[in-house]
Amino acid sequence: MTKIKSLADLRKLKDEVQSKIKLRENSDNPDHVVQIKVGMATCGIASGAKETMNSFIEELEQEAIDAVVSQTGCMGFCYAEPTVEVTLPNKEPVLFGHVHKEKVREIIDVYIKRGELIDGIIPINFKTIDD
């Protein structure tokens, strides 16, 4: 593929992508896809949340799992950063702590694919935050 240098190149890329994928309806309907929020405040960034987010994006792409990976603020569990909140469709959000590369694999393989809980879940009474 040619190098992308300008917005015009990006527009071309968009057209290619658009013709390849039929736009999935579920991207408008987040209730039907796996939602992943990576804590990315100072504490998260300092402990490598950027790498965690990248591995999630890459691994999920490889596994062809429909998911929305986004970032969120600090959830108050700085000691356990990088923290990641995973919401499976129609389930309560679950927060995992100390999520580095290997843990990303484990979360995808065990929790997202099979729905089994794994070690490293933060508090039971955790509620999602809005900002």
Partner 1 sequence: MIPLKTNNFNHMKTLAEHILDIAQNSVRAKATLIEIIVEESKKSDLWTLTITDNGCGMEEDMVKRATDPFFTSRTTRKVGLGLALLQQNTSAAGGTVRIKSKPGEGTVLKAEFQLSHIDRPPVGNIGETLYLLFLGYTTGELKYEHKCEKGTFSIRSSELHDALGEVPLQNKEVRDGVIELIKTNLVEIGATK
Residues that bind partner 1 (CB under 8 A): 3-11, 13-14, 16-18, 21, 23, 27, 40-43, 45-47, 50, 53-54, 57-58, 61, 68-71, 73-76, 78, 129, 131
Of 16 and 119, CB closest to partner 1:
16
Instruction: Give me the least distance between CB of 126 and partner 1, in Å please.
Output: 12
Can you give the three-state secondary structure of the chain, one letter per residue?
CCCCCCHHHHHHHHHHHHHHCCCCHHHHCHHHCEEEEEECCHHHHHCCHHHHHHHHHHHHHHHCCCEEEEEECCCCCHHHCCCEEEECCCCCCEEECCCCHHHHHHHHHHHHHHCCCCCCECCCCCCCCCC
Instruction: Give me the least distance between CB of 62 and partner 1, in Å please.
Output: 10
Instruction: Give me the least distance between CB of 65 and partner 1, in Å please.
Output: 13
Of 40 and 104, CB closest to partner 1:
40
